[in-house]
Amino acid sequence: MPEAGNRRVMAFDFGTRRIGVATGQELLGTGEPLAMIPARDGIPDWSVVEKLLEEWRPDLVLVGLPLNMDDTENEMCARARKFGNRIHGRFHYPVEMVDERLTSFEAKGDVLARGGSRDFGRHGVDDRAAVLILETWFREQDNSAG
């Protein structure tokens, strides 16, 4: 694995209907939306996940953890953790959970600001939320380094 600061990172915004995916380079500190994977009650087509991982070969995978505003966990946190554990178990990538509070809210605002409609399922909220998860993690790395 490359040293910290120079890793390829992939982030997932877990959802029960769609899972947003983004990728980025730690050195640059920015992410790009990559895909929105349909899910059925939180279960994706694992072959799609596998293809993305094989194509991008991240050094680290991040999964958003939708904590409550008071830092407590909820049912979606348990499901997101299970999703992260499955990525680690199936594909052997290191996985970290990232606090994703308000990323979906911020992503919806971004979509509307770019002229998108409120039909968020078609306009990239989930993959944009994955970018925000990724960039949150990058900022945390910068803050812990110095």
Cα–Cα nearest to 76, from 137, 136, 10, 16: 16
CB 26 within 8 A of CB 141: yes
Residue 117 pLDDT greater than 50, yes or no: no
Tokens of 142: 């910068």
Identify the pLDDT of residue 86. Answer: 97
pLDDT tens digits for 61-76?
999 999 888 989 999 9
The pLDDT of residue 47: 97
CATH homologous superfamily of 8-145 equals YqgF/RNase H-like domain (3.30.420.140)
What pLDDT does 113 receive?
A: 53
Q: Which residues contact 33 (CB under 8 A, 6 or more apart)?
A: 20, 21, 22, 124, 127, 128, 130, 131
**In 14-112, which ranges are E strands?**
18-25, 30-40, 43-44, 60-65, 95-99
- pLDDT over 70 for what percent of the chain? 81
| DSSP notation for 97-113 | EEE-TTHHHHHHHHHHH
Tokens standing for residue 101: 């509070």
Domain residue spans of the chain: 8-145
Q: pLDDT-derived band of residue 94, with 50, 70 and 90 as boundaries?
A: very high
